[in-house]
Amino acid sequence: MKLIRELSIVLAISFAGELLHRFFISAIPGSVIGMLLLFGALCMGILDVKEIETTSEFLLKHLAFFFVPAAVGLITCLGIISSNLIGILGVLVISSVVVIITTGFTVQILKRMMKNG
């Protein structure tokens, strides 16, 4: 019964994110809005980690299975991917470099803030 209650909470928050996406915030995906709602509820104490712990552990344990549909979708698009491979690889390399640089600057700023604060 506990697992059903926990899963219901997670699904309700996800559904709320989808509703907000559909009716108000169409620029941000509903799943992202749902994660932000869950994060906000946890940070503000509206929701306790213990209330969703079992479901969260189960979902994290089986996370690899959620990538299967995406991988199958990529296989169906191999022709498109192979014809644009250089562009895709370029975007991957550039975005990775940007993320690494941004992360480095963020860590440096946070270290300075912690040292001074």
Nearest CA to 10 out of 54, 70, 71 is that of 54
Report domain extents, the chain. 1-61, 67-117
Q: Which long-range contacts (CB under 8 A, 24 or more apart) does 46-53 make?
A: 47/9, 51/6, 51/9, 52/6, 52/9, 52/10, 53/6
Q: Model's pTM, two decimal places?
A: 0.64
| DSSP sequence for 7-29 | HHHHHHHHHHHHHHHHHT-TTS-
Q: What is the pLDDT of residues 93-107, one digit of tens each?
A: 999 999 999 999 999
Q: What is the pLDDT of residues 3-50, one digit of tens each?
A: 899 999 999 999 999 999 999 988 999 999 999 999 999 999 999 999
Give the position of tokens 């996370």.
63
Radius of gyration of the CA atoms of the chain, in A: 19
